Chains A and B, each alone.
Chain A
Amino acid sequence: MITPHRLSVKFYFEELSVDAEAFIPVFHRWIREDVVPNELLLDVADYKHILDGPAILLVGHEADYVIDFTDGKPGLLYVRKQDLGADLSNALDTTLFQALKGVKLTESDVELQGKLKLRTDGATFVLLDRLNYPNAGSNGDSADPAASAEAHLSDSLAALFGSDATVTRVDNDAREPLTFELLAPSAPDVDTLLSQLGKVN
């Protein structure tokens, strides 16, 4: 399947006992210490004045890391913008791998350690590509990009998060990008997921 223009994944906080502002010095340090291999980190954008939005962004060339409060659900959003790979499968692997690395970095950061925890038993995936993956009503056609993407994500994520993992298309507004929710009752921990993905990457 076609590589989407952008692909994002958001993991939600199980615990978060710091303000969004606390991420600003952390992200600046990440840039200075160049902590993310294979990604160029550029700057930190502060949008905490926006209610229920992307509060703090670590802007990168290949991807952004966002402390995101959209819909009142705090989480770490990873948006892959460049070098997604040759197809949806590559894009999903790359995005998920780097997002999980981001989860690990965040949880283990010296300034944040013990103050937050991200869950891996659920996540939101968004295909930011209205040209190739329009968020239109399904017509039952097997060539329908939304249906194909859903099937692809279901297979890929079940292989990683467990056979009881489910992927459901979010019934959102047609103007919004195509969005899927992952529910994984028996999700492995981050290291295990990274290890499995590492074999792919």
Chain B
Amino acid sequence: MSNIGWKDVLTDDMPIDLAHEIDIFEGQMELMGQGKLDEKVFAETRLRRGVYGQRYDNGQRHDGFESRELEFDEADRIKGPDTLWHAPGMQRIKVPGGGLSPEQLDVLAQVADEYSDGILHITTRQDIQLHFVHIEDTPDMMRRLAAVGITTREACGNSVRNVTCCHLSGVCRTEVFDATPYSDAFAQFLLGHDDVQDFGRKFKPAFSGCESEACGLVMMHDIGYLAQIKEVDGKPKRGFKVFVGGGLGTVPHQAKVLSEFTSEEEMLPLVQAVARVFARLGEKRNRNRARIKFLVAKLGIDEFRRLVEEERETLPHDDRWTAYLDTLPQYEEKPAKPPTFLNGQVRSTAFNQWFETNVYSQRQEGYSVVTVNLPLGDLTSKQTWELADVARKYVGDNVRATVEQNIVLRWVSDSDLPGLYEELKAIGLGDSGAGTIVDITACPGTDTCKLGIASSRGLAGELRTRLTAKSASLPDAIKDLKIKISGCFNSCGQHHVSDIGFFGNSRRSGNFKMPHFQVVLGGRWRDNAGSYGLAVGAVPSKTVPEVVDIITNRYIDERAKGETFQDWIGRIGKKEARGMIQPFMKLPAFEQEPDYFSDWGDPRVFSLGDIGIGECAGEVVSLFSMEISPAESEAFEAQIALDENDPARADALAYSSMLKAARALVRTQFLDVGDSPDRIVQEFKGRFFDTELFFDQYAKGKFGQYLLDRHQNPNPNPDNDSAHRLIEEALLFIEATHACESKVGGNVLVEI
């Protein structure tokens, strides 16, 4: 094997902080392999690097007859509770606002074919997911992504997830202003921020430029920002209407207005205050009640707002709150080509169909946004670098992923549209129908998700095939309907906010279980996910295509002129709506319809035996445990540096590990300690050393003194002996920190 790895090759290309974080993660993997790290702590650690579990990773799989063990090597080696080390998993990659450059697409394509199954999947929150990834490949994958400015940090786990932003921001004809640079600043500010490390559950933000379009879907997010301009002292002032406590999931909540207008200067301190209130008062032990929507509902929006305002007053000032404003005047997107017009060019019928559904005329004359309609959100590695080349040729860096699992190319000069269409078609990405009834959204469901009940992707694929075949004859009123499918009640497919939504469940018929989908009608995608649909009943999975036909045909027959699908459902009411699907709710016996007892694209007799425990759930890990884990990893790295005859690096890492451990301990009492070594040592000394809380019964203050000594008297020229000694001291210091925390009792908990 070569001694040169991606770490060496990419050293100069990765941001130093990010490179170091990845090294720490690799060290934690090593410690986990040696059994030196708690399984729950490691699980949350990897989740916060986007390394997620996947179906069957508990080593069990139902083959249609019985549940069978998957005999992985080292079956006792795990990467979290009930999760086998060698079982493949999912890697989620954060893409803030969905923004991608051709260079990033190239690297994503490369890591997909080297580390996953060669398929890139766009999620409903503008992330990219790779499946069937081996955990030991993840550090190098992260390095390759880091080298092109992509991080997987906090893509999963109880943290601030990808910050989404309307894919039309900046080119939209109806927006108040471009929310993109604000969404970027927000994402950068909160990434790894101390105040977002102690949530009971995940926290999803979204940005929108306008109110009436679907845009950023702010009403269904934990926190949502809607661009506003307000006149202040006779001058227009930019800011946001801020919503909080929205969410789908099992129990959907519409977000409440936290602030009618928050100025751009206050955008970041406000979210910091929200984060602190959520961390302090949000539920930690019962994951089913731990999202911020439950806290807002419990306290009431007025009390929640009061607490946030109170918190805001006590926040220590941070220059970053307003520093980003200086960069706003420079923010601009550069089109690759000058504006042109399409007039006079000969157009094929196929082009016209595509143009009608996949092209959005930008606010900027002569330019359009083209939607690349990805079936089920998937594209291959090969298609990805081919798409990167198309982007280079026509739009440069102006590429974004969308929450409808597509990719858009922005700033296409209009006369290029026919040529662009031909090039997309040549790489299998020229499907028309973007944003229409054939462009179905679906979460991974039983294909790869541990929580999936029914095959959302299988159903979506089937509906897409059937509806595409008859799309030319579909009435206009139906063409624009949206279908969204989730594999279970957790709503990752966003079924609540579609015209016709489905989520997977099951029913029993005789001795067999039958895959079903609950039918949810009349949700509103527009108005930022303005209202949620009505669950009317569950039907067998295999009847869903017929159910869709019955519902859409009746809508065509009965709708009044101009009546929307939502209005029609509202008019006929739940009873009538249920009546439409009632004939399908009678379940046949296995002998009558055996096909009903298997799912789309999966011939196995249906079972719930493969459902696992979601990795967002279940265990309680203290903030201290999460924060001391990197200290242990650094101490381990220090030993490696010493083995590599690099005493200076070993000394620095050992010292840094002590600081991290001390910081973790201090933060059990004082969250705002910050990152300054002087401050950490000062707080440690005042709170734990001088008070003798850190003292061991026999060794007294000896272990704490190690940190104080190294901090006061750094060795300018450490040799192997001194570095070795410091590493030993660091290990003892970390042990003493654990002992102290156990004795004093950490008071901050996180749930994974």
* Bound pair (A, B): yes
**A contact set with B: CB distance below 8 Å:** 2-3, 5-6, 21, 24-25, 28, 31-32, 40, 42-54, 57, 59, 61, 64, 70, 81-82, 128-132, 173, 175-177
> Would A175 and B385 count as touching, CB distance under 8 A?
yes
> Would B86 and A57 count as touching, CB distance under 8 A?
no
**B contact set with A: CB distance below 8 Å:** 1-2, 4-6, 9, 55-56, 61, 63-65, 68, 70-72, 86, 88, 106, 109-110, 113-114, 117-119, 131-132, 134, 375-376, 378-380, 382-383, 385, 428, 447-448, 457-458, 461, 464-465, 601-604
> Would A43 and B55 count as touching, CB distance under 8 A?
yes
16 contacts between A and B (CB under 8 A): A5-B114, A28-B603, A32-B65, A42-B61, A42-B70, A42-B88, A43-B55, A45-B117, A47-B119, A49-B465, A50-B378, A70-B380, A70-B382, A131-B4, A132-B2, A175-B385
> Would B134 and A81 count as touching, CB distance under 8 A?
yes
> Would B5 and A131 count as touching, CB distance under 8 A?
yes
A154 to B601, CA, bound (A): 41
Task: Give the residue of B2, B56, B464 whose beta carbon is less than 8 angstroms from that of A42.
Answer: B56
> Which residue of chain A lies nearest to B57 when distances are taken between CB atoms in the complex?
A42
Contacts of B56 on A, CB cut-off 8 Å?
A: 42-43
Tell me the smallest distance from the CB of B329 to a CB of chain A, in Å: 36
**Do A175 and B88 contact each other (CB < 8 Å), given the known contacts A28-B64, A40-B70, A46-B461?**
no
Contacts of A46 on B, CB cut-off 8 Å?
A: 447, 457-458, 461, 601
A54 to B428, CA, bound (A): 13
A31 to B60, CA, bound (A): 13
Contacts of A21 on B, CB cut-off 8 Å?
A: 601
> Would B603 and A24 count as touching, CB distance under 8 A?
yes
**Do A131 and B2 contact each other (CB < 8 Å), given the known contacts A45-B447, A49-B461, A57-B117?**
yes
> Would A50 and B375 count as touching, CB distance under 8 A?
yes
A173 to B388, CA, bound (A): 12
Contacts of B602 on A, CB cut-off 8 Å?
A: 24, 28, 44
Counting from the closest, the 9 A-B pairs by CB-CB distance are A51-B428, A49-B375, A32-B63, A25-B603, A53-B380, A46-B601, A175-B385, A49-B461, A128-B114
A40 to B88, CA, bound (A): 12
A177 to B111, CA, bound (A): 11
> Would B86 and A61 count as touching, CB distance under 8 A?
yes
A53 to B121, CA, bound (A): 14
Tell me the smallest distance from the CB of B434 to a CB of chain A, in Å: 15
A90 to B88, CA, bound (A): 24
Tell me the smallest distance from the CB of A150 to a CB of chain B, in Å: 19
> Would B113 and A40 count as touching, CB distance under 8 A?
no
Task: Give the residue of B71, B114, B428, B458 whose beta carbon is less than 8 angstroms from that of A40.
Answer: B71
> Would B119 and A54 count as touching, CB distance under 8 A?
yes
> Would B110 and A175 count as touching, CB distance under 8 A?
yes
Instruction: Identify 17 new A-B residue pairs, CB closer than 8 A, beyond the known A43-B61, A175-B109.
Output: A24-B602, A31-B63, A32-B63, A32-B68, A40-B71, A45-B117, A45-B448, A46-B461, A48-B461, A49-B375, A49-B376, A49-B465, A50-B383, A53-B382, A59-B117, A64-B132, A131-B4
> Would B55 and A47 count as touching, CB distance under 8 A?
no
Tell me the smallest distance from the CB of B467 to a CB of chain A, in Å: 13
> Would A3 and B1 count as touching, CB distance under 8 A?
yes
Contacts of A47 on B, CB cut-off 8 Å?
A: 119, 378
> Which residue of chain B lies nearest to A77 when distances are taken between CB atoms in the complex?
B118
Contacts of B117 on A, CB cut-off 8 Å?
A: 45, 54, 57, 59, 64
Tell me the smallest distance from the CB of B358 to a CB of chain A, in Å: 16
**Do A131 and B86 contact each other (CB < 8 Å), given the known contacts A51-B428, A175-B106?**
no
A132 to B1, CA, bound (A): 9
> Would B380 and A54 count as touching, CB distance under 8 A?
yes
A63 to B379, CA, bound (A): 21
Which of A43, A61, A81 gathers the greatest number of chain B CB atoms within 10 Å? Answer: A43
> Would B106 and A49 count as touching, CB distance under 8 A?
no
Tell me the smallest distance from the CB of A9 to a CB of chain B, in Å: 15
> Would A131 and B458 count as touching, CB distance under 8 A?
no
Contacts of B428 on A, CB cut-off 8 Å?
A: 50-53
Tell me the smallest distance from the CB of A83 to a CB of chain B, in Å: 9
A177 to B88, CA, bound (A): 22
A52 to B131, CA, bound (A): 20
Tell me the smallest distance from the CB of A173 to a CB of chain B, in Å: 7
A173 to B113, CA, bound (A): 15
Contacts of A131 on B, CB cut-off 8 Å?
A: 2, 4-6, 9
A25 to B604, CA, bound (A): 8
**Do A128 and B113 contact each other (CB < 8 Å), given the known contacts A47-B378, A51-B428, A70-B380?**
yes
Contacts of A61 on B, CB cut-off 8 Å?
A: 72, 86, 88
Tell me the smallest distance from the CB of A91 to a CB of chain B, in Å: 12
A45 to B116, CA, bound (A): 12
Task: Give the residue of B1, B70, B109, B465 whose beta carbon is less than 8 angstroms from that of A2.
Answer: B1
> Which residue of chain B lies nearest to A62 when distances are taken between CB atoms in the complex?
B73
Tell me the smallest distance from the CB of A191 to a CB of chain B, in Å: 29
Tell me the smallest distance from the CB of A199 to a CB of chain B, in Å: 26
> Which residue of chain A lies nearest to B604 when distances are taken between CB atoms in the complex?
A28
Contacts of B86 on A, CB cut-off 8 Å?
A: 61
> Would B113 and A59 count as touching, CB distance under 8 A?
no
A176 to B388, CA, bound (A): 13
Contacts of B6 on A, CB cut-off 8 Å?
A: 131
